[in-house]
């Protein structure tokens, strides 16, 4: 299962986001032709921490780590799969949602990071449906409550047994004094377009809604008696498969384990290295360019499998970000650096652009999009340093535009014979990697004057030095060797002295300018409210709803409206 029993330098238990089906304790994958079945059968005694049992298919972070891994493997390892049926392995219960004892006993930081990862996993289902053609059908055979219904909401089609007991519910407000914070409120009204008054009623009752009313109110798509349910599932799966745009031919590639070493100084992979300075509360993430040219064709890429540079770097960076989020809570700042031959990075990007219609290239591009989105919503100050020897080209240049601050050196450093740093743009910076609100990072950056995006696009393929990059608005500051060390040092010291709470709020508000989408609402508005509510005594105080749940005692609320 996910979650190694090892202790980090900060004394905390290490939670590992790497797993594989041979280690699953909570999910089963079965593939039959173009249909895969993901069965949720949670091991009660398989929680990440002590003090709670995962009864009734309730879940903690460990359950969701397995689900995220399963969805990822279906995309990369099973190009033949066009439909994924999500169902329960237990009788008369689909999923009871996030485990309440786990929530009551978790630190605030763990709860928030747990919800964020769960949101990203749910969004991953929808991304697979939209961009990989793997459609998801959920089969609600009993109670789907809270996070259980939120899981169903992330699928394309919800089927429910019409047996008088199966029901969907979002009971967090009346039962727990918190929100259905992994997309529930947003998906009910934005995705399923449930009427506001119906949604208000639904979200304030404990028992949920079943049968014909659930269909009439758009909470589920169809109901069927148990005697006809399996036939309906097969019929619907066949229908969805026929309409899928999935065009995977041949075999998939195995997502083999990453080569990773964790020590007191950080994390070390083949192409990504994380150096942690706990005294300064800074993690420096260095990304290395490929040393060999890309393969000649897609067959060569498939032959390399998970070792294909573009995919391997994405997986390593993803794992590093998740590790830092949940295991290194006192880190204030992530500093991105790169090194190596930028021409090699450009060659791999050109390969991805040239072969973008191939199913595996499509998956790699969308995976990079999700990794960059994960960085966008990470509550750490993001800084990129463009120094001599760096290779911020195309895909890697997105880390410059994702940063809250970016610094680029003018010319060379004294005694350093490496060439002056440069940034190079390519097709990857103008469409393939949108943020959660649907804009590219350059569109978001230049919302006051969209013509600046065109100005940048006109420079595709050119080596842009610091003065040019600053003039184009691609970096925050261009500094010469005389000012570089002092300016960067003062910024680091100042930034890490600020309140982490105010920085999280400030950064999250400044990063997502422009329009809202369902996804951006989930990560901004809904997440922010849940974050706040998770700290309120009405939810987590000694007499709060999460603490009192299951004791027979009613929660005691401070009735002041804030």
528 or 267, which is more confident: 267
Q: Give yes or no: residues 365 and 234 share one domain.
A: no
Sign of CA dihedral 455, 456, 461, 467: positive
> Do residue 147 and residue 236 come from a single domain?
yes
Look at residue 5 in the predicted model and tell me its pLDDT: 45
| Residue 12 pLDDT level (bands cut at 50, 70, 90) | low
Quote the tokens at residue 63: 């359950």
10 has a pLDDT exceeding 60: no
pLDDT above 80 (res 358): yes
What is the per-residue pLDDT for 6?
A: 55
Answer yes or no: is pLDDT of 11 > 60.
no
C-alpha closest to that of 478 among 423, 440, 430, 428: 423
Residue 432: give its domain's CATH number: 3.90.226.10
Cβ(21)–Cβ(73) below 8 Å: yes
In a shared domain, residues 192 and 334: no
Inside any domain, residue 523: no
Residue 6, domain member (yes or no): no
Average pLDDT (484-512) is: 95
Q: What whole-number distance in Å separates Cα of residue 446 and Cα of residue 442?
A: 6
Average pLDDT over residues 104-129: 95
| pLDDT surpassing 70 at residue 7 | no
Q: Is the pLDDT of residue 172 over 80?
A: yes
Same domain, 315 and 460: yes
In a domain, 457, yes or no: yes
Q: Which two tokens stand for residue 552?
A: 């027979």
- Per the rule left: phi > 0, alpha: psi between -120 and 50, beta: everything else, 193 is left
Residue 371 domain-assigned? yes
**Residue 14 belongs to a domain:** no
191 and 81 in a common domain: yes
Q: Report whether pLDDT(527) > 70.
A: yes
Quick check: is 300 in a domain? yes
Is 165 in the same domain as 277? Answer: no
Dihedral sign, Cα of residue 113, residue 115, residue 121, residue 127: negative
Say if residue 8's pLDDT is above 60.
no
Residues 222, 277: one domain? no
Look at residue 143 in the predicted model and tell me its pLDDT. 96
**pLDDT of 66 higher than 70:** yes
HSE at residue 365, side-chain half, CA atoms within 13 A, is 26
Closest of 252, 255, 220, 233 to residue 83, by C-alpha = 233
Percentage of the chain modeled with pLDDT above 90? 94
Q: pLDDT at position 524, please?
A: 84
Report whether pLDDT(1) > 80: no
Same domain flag for 164 and 226? yes
- Tell which residue, 247, 41, 40, 27, has the closest CA to residue 134: 247
Domain that holds residue 40: 21-242
The mean pLDDT value for 106-123 works out to 95
Each residue of 214-252: pLDDT tens digit? 999 999 999 999 999 999 999 999 999 999 999 888 899
Given a cut of 80, whether residue 315 has pLDDT beyond it is yes
Distance CA 352, CA 394 (A): 11
Mean pLDDT of 493-519: 94
pLDDT (tens digit per residue) in 420-470: 999 999 999 999 999 999 999 999 999 999 999 999 999 999 999 999 999
Provide, rounded to the nearest whole percent, the portion of the chain with pLDDT above 70: 98
Q: Tell me which of 189, 213, 242 is where a domain ends.
A: 242
Q: Count the domains in the chain.
A: 2
pLDDT in tens, 181-193: 999 999 999 999 9
pLDDT of residue 3: 41
Sign of CA dihedral 517, 120, 99, 225: positive
What pLDDT shows up at residue 2? 45
**Average pLDDT over every residue of 163-175:** 96
- Examine residue 195 and state whether it is found in any structural domain, yes or no: yes
The reported pLDDT for the residue numbered 562 is 84
* CA dihedral of 461, 464, 469, 475, whole degrees rounded to 10: 80
Single out the residue in 212, 242, 272 at which a domain terminates: 242
Same domain, 94 and 155: yes
Final residue in a domain of this structure, among 213, 242, 271: 242
CB 39 within 8 A of CB 25: no
358 shares a domain with 209 = no
If asked whether residues 170 and 267 sit together in one domain, one would say no
Whole-prediction pTM: 0.96
Residues 155 and 209 in one domain: yes
- Confirm whether 237 is domain-assigned: yes
> Smallest Cα–Cα separation from 511: which of 406, 429, 436, 430?
436
């Amino acid at each position: 299962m996910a979650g190694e029993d090892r202790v980090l330098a900060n004394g905390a238990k290490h939670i590992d986001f790497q797993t594989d089906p041979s280690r699953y304790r909570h999910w089963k994958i079965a593939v039959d032709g173009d249909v895969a079945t993901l069965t949720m059968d949670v091991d009660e005694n398989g929680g990440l921490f002590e003090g709670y049992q995962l009864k009734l298919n309730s879940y903690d972070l460990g359950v969701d780590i397995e689900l995220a891994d399963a969805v990822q493997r279906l995309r990369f390892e099973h190009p033949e799969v066009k439909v994924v049926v999500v169902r329960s392995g237990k009788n008369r219960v689909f999923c009871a949602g996030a485990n309440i004892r786990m929530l009551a006993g978790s630190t605030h930081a763990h709860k928030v990071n747990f919800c964020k990862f769960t949101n990203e996993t749910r969004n991953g289902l929808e991304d697979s449906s939209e961009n990989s053609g793997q459609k998801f059908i959920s089969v609600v055979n009993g109670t789907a409550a809270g996070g259980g219904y939120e899981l169903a909401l992330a699928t394309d089609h919800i089927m429910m047994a019409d047996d008088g007991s199966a029901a969907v519910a979002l009971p967090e407000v009346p039962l727990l004094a918190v929100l259905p914070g992994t997309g529930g409120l947003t998906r009910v009204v934005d995705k399923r377009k449930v009427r506001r008054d119906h949604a208000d009623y639904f979200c304030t009752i404990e028992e949920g809604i079943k049968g014909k009313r659930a269909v009439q109110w758009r909470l589920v798509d169809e109901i069927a008696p148990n005697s006809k349910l399996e036939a309906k599932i097969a019929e619907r799966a066949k229908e969805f498969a026929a309409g899928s745009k999935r065009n995977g031919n041949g075999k998939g590639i195995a997502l083999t384990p990453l080569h990773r070493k964790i020590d007191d100084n950080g994390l070390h992979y083949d192409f990504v290295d994380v150096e942690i300075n706990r005294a300064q509360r800074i993690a420096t993430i260095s990304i290395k360019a490929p040393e060999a040219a890309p393969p000649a064709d897609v067959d060569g890429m498939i032959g390399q499998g998970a070792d294909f540079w573009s995919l391997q770097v994405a997986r390593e960076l993803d794992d590093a970000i998740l590790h830092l989020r949940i295991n290194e809570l006192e880190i204030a700042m992530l500093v991105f650096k790169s090194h190596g031959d930028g021409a090699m990075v450009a060659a791999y990007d050109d390969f991805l652009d040239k072969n973008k219609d191939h199913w595996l290239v499509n998956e790699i591009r969308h995976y990079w999009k999700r990794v960059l989105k994960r960085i966008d919503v990470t509550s750490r100050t993001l800084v990129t340093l463009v120094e001599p020897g760096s290779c911020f080209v195309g895909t890697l240049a997105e880390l410059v535009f994702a940063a809250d601050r970016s610094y680029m050196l003018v010319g060379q450093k004294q005694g350093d014979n490496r060439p002056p740093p440069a940034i190079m743009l390519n097709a990857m910076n103008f469409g393939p990697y949108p943020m959660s609100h649907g804009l590219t990072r350059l569109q978001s950056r230049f919302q006051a004057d969209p013509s600046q995006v065109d100005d940048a696009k006109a420079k595709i393929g050119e080596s842009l030095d610091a003065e040019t990059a600053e003039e184009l608005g691609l970096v925050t500051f261009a500094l010469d060797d005389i000012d570089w060390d002092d300016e960067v040092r003062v910024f680091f010291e100042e930034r890490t002295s600020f309140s982490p709470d105010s920085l999280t709020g400030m950064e999250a508000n400044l990063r997502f300018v422009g329009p809202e989408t369902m996804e951006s609402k989930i990560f901004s508005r809904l997440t922010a409210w849940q974050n706040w509510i998770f700290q309120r005594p009405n939810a987590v105080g000694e007499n709060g709803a999460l603490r009192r749940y299951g004791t027979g005692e009613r929660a005691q609320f401070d009735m002041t409206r804030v």
